[in-house]
Structure 1
Amino acid sequence: MTDVFIWLTIAVGLYMAWNIGANDAANSMATSYGSKALTLRQIIIMAGILEFLGAFLYGKRVTHTIAKGIVPIDALNSNLVVIGALSAILAASIWITVATYFHLPVSTTHSIVGAMVGFGLAAVSQDYIRLEDIQWGALYRIVLSWIISPIAGAVIAFLLFTIIKISLLSRFSNESVEHVFRYLQVLTAGYMAFAHGSNDVANATGPMAAALGYLGTETPAWILMLGGIGITIGIATWGYRVIMTVGERITELTYTRGFSAEFATATTVIMASTLGMPISTTHTLVGSVIGVGLAGGIASIDLSVVKRIIASWLLTVPVAAGLAIVFYTLMVVFL
């Protein structure tokens, strides 16, 4: 029975990776679409390649955090770990699919972290572990990074665009400056795609690694490769839905604005990946886009879209945790 659940976890992990590509493709490429630096077809090809490389080459650290940094899976038997990992990844995947259908750029990181917490709380309720056994200190640091990352993205993007505006746009013709930044934005789009793959692949591969017993930093390359493939397929099939929301509906994006938002987001995410912190690329990117918008004045931001996005963010952790508790409880009771 355990083998069956392990294979189910791998299958659902691939589904989760597909969801990451379908929803979080917006994080790496939406600003390039909004500024028209790249066409949708070019975005799919470029994002697919660089997201895969980021996941495969640099996704190991955050995978370890998701796999072992929240729930003390060493204290549980292997059957419960597999059931918990499957419950968490299934809960997060379902929520992200629903959000993507409604064009909402929710955080896949929040989804899987919330779902893993739900798994831990369910195990506590059944006396398999104690409440204090859950890694609350690590969870506190993760949540703190969620608050810091969009602020950091907004500040960096605001400052960068302000510098560009003062040093270039005010001295040279807007047309000539924007022409140069069209090509620079293609580079930052690639940078963003690589950064996103390096951080968010763990949302699929972390529970897979836990279920398969890879609890150290030695996550096998094939798990990271599977996650990268799933992300690429998600981008190619359903990624356009959220790309349009983030790229077109928050604020007007020129090449200089898109460059600033992408550079700020990618830099923040790469720093987090280096530290092994599963931050929300969605929050960071939206924060960066808002920061660029603020540099042009608050009137340039569509606050109704921002409010709708924030509402979906607030729902993510409790919904994912609740679904994980339900799935875990049902599996333990009936199997």
Structure 2
Amino acid sequence: MTNSALKPTLDKDLEKVSQLQGATKNLSRTFVAPGLSFLFLLVAMGIASIYFSGTLGTGVVIASAGVGAYLALNIGANDVANNVGPAVGSQALSITGALLIAAIFESAGALIAGGDVVGTISKGIIDPATVSNSGVFVRVMLGALISSALWVNLATWIGAPVSTTHAVVGGVMGAGIAAAGYTSVNWATMGSIAASWVISPVLGGLIAAAFLFFIKTFIIYQKDKIAAARRWVPVLIAIMTGAFTAYLSVKGLKKVVSISLFQASVLGIVAFVTTWLLVRPLIRHQSEGLENRNQSLRKLFRIPLICSAALLSFAHGANDVANAIGPLAAIVHTISAGEVAAKVSIPLWVMTIGAFGISFGLLLFGPKLIRMVGQQITKLNPMRAYCVALSAAITVIVASGLGLPVSSTHIAVGAVFGVGFFREWYTQSSKRRMRYVQLETGRTTYSRRAETHRRPKLVRRSHFMTIVAAWVITVPAAAGLSALIFAGLTALSTGQ
């Protein structure tokens, strides 16, 4: 047999071996993230055993530390996507850059500004007097931890960004009802939380749409885009700086230093003026030589978007980590002190588990939800992503001033929806856009032909319905699951 006859067979065999090796490599990768996650859980439990070695209830604390670490991993996989997703979707950041920035600033926010005191009953959801027994209280908190972790994990798997704080609140409520009945729940507080399901995304969407309308009106659909950008981009960047200064003052640094809303507003105004004065010459220099087209405008928003992703991550770490690990801190305090307290200190080792767990969860599992928020709901460019990031900061400030509880997750995703739905309306209905297109293309019949076309769909309805459904059922689902887990833990403790 000649070599020419052997070659095709040899090539096919080598190709099969190569495909087998590739499949084996891909399969091994799928086990890396779960393996590293399991290792982190063991480390967290090991840390807990060191601090509670020989103490009564050590086993419960160790198990709770493992569950707390599991919840932190799921927060990183799900909740953090809202902070960096728009920057990734607009291609201002690569997925790798976004992961690194978010991991660093989430951890920094948790450890620097995360605070050392949290409410153990998750913002007054359950009356402490109804669960004064330390054993019952520990089971309520453990049930809340387990149920919220499982629910956020499920939401991540189906690709729905949900509020971790709502999951924890639902978990505490469900276990509290199972322990002490419906009268133990502060239903007024629960009503305000339920209202935030609507307030957060709607307010975020409206603010994002308003800024996108401003950008389209005063920059994009102007004859000289570069001149318009030189005039307005410094103002927009200054608004972002002022908003984030006030945002971090009110929310992100509240555990480090107490700042009133008025003081935060003054700081925001000072930051606005300072930024505007500094950015004007920079934008003028950066815009020199740029062509008079939309692609050129995108370059001017890249740096502000990167900064916004970092600041949103820092604020999220400062606010949400403590809420998520609050039940773990409550368990640690109750077992060590033998009493139920309305507020407890968060030990450094507990905060560290939360901070690093979020970072690891983001690095190992975060890309799925980051792509969902940034790319799959609607198409984002730097200007649209800027509107989303700015909306997140402003909405929290407005809600804080009105005393309304809001979810950063719902705000950010609602802003993405707002941008997409606004573009649908604007593309079809804006007379300014029609006049601009007619002027640029000479198509005088554009408006009449546009009216005969079906309204464009720029938001994926399937994702919209999935996410909204996940939002609506987060609290009741976490509550029901937590009640079942509490019953199981109670049966186990009674059996012993």
Map of 1:29 onto structure 2: 84
Report if the CA contact (8 A) 2:76-2:360 is conserved.
Answer: yes
Map of 2:168 onto structure 1: 112
Map of 2:94 onto structure 1: 39
Sort the Cα spacing of 1:61 and 1:255 in 2 relative to 1 into closer, same or farther, 3 A: farther
Cα shift at 1:191 = 2.0
Q: Which one scores higher on RCO, CA 8 angstroms, separation ≥ 6? A: 1
1:13-69 CA distances to partner (integer Å, 9 max, x unpaired)?
111111000011211111111111111110111001111222233434994275452
Which structure has the bigger radius of gyration? 2
Sort the Cα spacing of 1:275 and 1:115 in 2 relative to 1 into closer, same or farther, 3 A: farther
Q: Does 1:197 align with 2:317?
A: yes
Map of 1:145 onto structure 2: 196
Letter in 2 for 1:35: S
Sort the Cα spacing of 1:11 and 1:272 in 2 relative to 1 into closer, same or farther, 3 A: farther
Report if the CA contact (8 A) 2:164-2:324 is conserved.
Answer: no
Report if the CA contact (8 A) 1:40-1:240 is conserved.
Answer: yes
Distance 1:276 1:90 in 2: 30
Which among 233, 248, 254 is matched to residue 375 of structure 2? 248
Letter in 2 for 1:51: E
1:155-192 CA distances to partner (integer Å, 9 max, x unpaired)?
21111121122222223131222110122111111122
1:112-150 CA distances to partner (integer Å, 9 max, x unpaired)?
11111101110124xxxxx33322222222222332111
Which among 122, 128, 136 is matched to residue 73 of structure 1? 128
Letter in 1 for 2:372: T
Deviates more, 1:42-51 or 1:140-149: 140-149
Deviates more, 1:258-267 or 1:32-41: 258-267
* C-alpha RMSD of the superposition: 2.5
Q: Does 1:295 align with 2:422?
A: yes
Distance 1:234 1:278 in 2: 26
Q: Which aligned runs of 4 or more in structure 1 are off by greater than 6 angstroms?
A: 270-278
3-state SS, counterpart of residue 300 of structure 1: coil
Cα shift at 1:100 = 1.2
Report if the CA contact (8 A) 1:59-1:273 is conserved.
Answer: no
Q: Percent identity?
A: 37
Letter in 2 for 1:209: A
Cα shift at 1:152 = 1.7
Report if the CA contact (8 A) 1:85-1:210 is conserved.
Answer: yes
Letter in 1 for 2:220: L
Q: Give the count of matched residue pairs.
A: 330
3-state SS, counterpart of residue 350 of structure 2: helix
Distance 1:226 1:121 in 2: 29
Letter in 1 for 2:180: V
Distance 1:88 1:95 in 2: 11
Q: Does 1:324 align with 2:482?
A: yes
Distance 2:119 2:404 in 1: 10
Cα shift at 1:270 = 6.2
Which among 127, 147, 152 is matched to residue 96 of structure 1? 152
Deviates more, 1:107-116 or 1:253-262: 107-116
